[in-house]
């Protein structure tokens, strides 16, 4: 039926069956769907922002001037400030770490969190060992496990030296596992 003939008749629900509409209707529906899908793109990207954006990027915290640690004899406790982002807020907290030396005499940084159940491990000056007060896990000055229930050595943190400042990337690790596993 031509468009003109159709215009002549006053259309009502009875005369206008769905199949007569079908071609143009399909075209309009497809067009609307395409435009709708296009419009939905920014909405989807907006929603997925926290999922896709790398907001939890690890950041480096200052531990102290490198000169401070050159003549290090025994591990020293330092507080590093870490900034955690949570969407539009940030939390600034301090976490204890130990600056010490490995067997080759290189500066390393250990997390003070016990690998057993997460207590903060103090340095026992008299014994020259780290002794965890909770379950008596014992670690050497370089963090090596000497005895007690902990499953592994104390956790080493990434370090770097920039402009004479020792920096570390503070991280949390899973407790009670033999291998060091990062927690996001």
Nearer to another protein, 45 or 160 (CB): 45
* DSSP element (H, E) containing 45: helix 18-52
Nearer to another protein, 35 or 146 (CB): 35
Q: Is 19 one of the binding residues for another protein (CB under 8 A)?
A: yes
Which of 120, 125, 130 is CA-nearest to residue 96? 120
Q: Please name the residues in contact with 41: beta carbons below 8 A apart, sequence gap of 6 or more.
A: none
Residues 68-127 binding another protein (CB under 8 A) are 81, 85-94
Q: Is 57 one of the binding residues for another protein (CB under 8 A)?
A: no
The distance of closest approach from Cβ of residue 81 to another protein in the complex, given in angstroms and rounded to an integer, is 7
Q: Is 32 one of the binding residues for another protein (CB under 8 A)?
A: yes
d(CA 40, CA 38): 5
Q: Is 164 one of the binding residues for another protein (CB under 8 A)?
A: no
Nearer to another protein, 18 or 164 (CB): 18
- For 54-106, give the DSSP string: -TT----EEEEETHHHHT--S-EEEEEEEEEEETTEEEEEEEEEEEEE-TTS-
Query: How many of the other CB atoms lie within 10 Å of CB of 157?
Result: 21
Q: Is 35 one of the binding residues for another protein (CB under 8 A)?
A: yes
The distance of closest approach from Cβ of residue 45 to another protein in the complex, given in angstroms and rounded to an integer, is 5
- List residues binding another protein (CB under 8 A): 7, 10-13, 16-19, 21, 24, 28, 31-32, 35, 39, 42-43, 45-49, 52-53, 81, 85-94
């Amino acid at each position: 039926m031509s468009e003109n003939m159709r215009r002549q008749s006053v259309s009502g629900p009875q005369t206008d069956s769905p199949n007569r509409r079908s071609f143009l209707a399909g075209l309009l529906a497809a067009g609307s769907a395409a435009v709708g899908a296009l419009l939905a793109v920014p909405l989807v990207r907006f929603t997925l922002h926290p999922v896709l954006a790398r907001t939890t990027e690890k950041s480096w915290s200052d531990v102290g001037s490198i000169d401070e640690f050159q003549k290090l004899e025994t591990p020293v406790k330092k507080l590093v400030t870490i900034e955690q982002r949570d969407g539009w807020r940030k939390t600034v907290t301090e976490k204890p770490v130990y600056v010490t030396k490995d067997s080759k005499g290189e500066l390393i940084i250990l997390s003070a969190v016990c690998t057993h159940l997460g207590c903060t491990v103090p340095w026992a000056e008299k014994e020259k060992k780290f002794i965890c007060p909770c379950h008596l896990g014992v670690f050497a000055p370089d963090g090596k496990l000497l005895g007690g229930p902990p499953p592994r050595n104390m956790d080493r943190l990434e370090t770097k030296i920039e402009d004479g400042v020792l920096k570390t990337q503070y991280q949390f690790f899973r407790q009670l596992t033999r291998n060091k596993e990062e927690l996001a």
